[in-house]
Amino acid sequence: MSNIKRIKASFFKTESGKEPVRDWLMTLSKEDRQKIGEDIKTIEFGFPIGMPTCRPMGKGLYEVRTNLENTITRILFCVEGEQMILLHGFTKKTQKTPKEDLNLAIKRQTEFKNKAGS
């Protein structure tokens, strides 16, 4: 792994200033947050990387894939310039990523791009 960040992770902010991924992470245990943080860091220093840590989802979205002791988590993100925008985090309960989670990430991605373009 390089010692220079290729992209820098940052949290998507809603118009009201909330950071949904940060809020979701705070509901997890410290150990789980650390493991997810390690995976994000791996992507920051190695992007683009592939499985098992990161997977393209289409439409400019990627997922951080973290397998914890008793559960599986995903953070959907997009890359804009040198930023890794963390759009949506969730605990995975099915084999396939639920459409609602993908659609929410796409909506936030669009909001981010619109805000960045204005």
CATH fourth-level superfamily of 8-113: RelE-like (3.30.2310.20)
Residue 22, sorted as left (phi over 0), alpha (psi -120 to 50) or beta, turns out to be alpha
Instruction: Write down the pTM of the prediction.
Output: 0.93
User: Cβ-count burial of 64 within 10 angstroms (0-12 exposed, 13-18 middle, 19+ buried)?
Assistant: buried
Q: What's residue 4's pLDDT? A: 85
Reading the chain (118 residues) residue by residue, the pLDDT tens digits are 567 889 999 999 999 999 999 999 999 999 999 999 999 999 999 998 989 999 999 999 999 999 998 899 999 999 999 999 999 999 998 889 999 999 999 999 999 999 877 5
Beta bridge pairs of residue 67: 72
SS3 25: helix
Give me 35's structure tokens.
Answer: 């493991």
CB 79, CB 6: distance < 8 Å: no
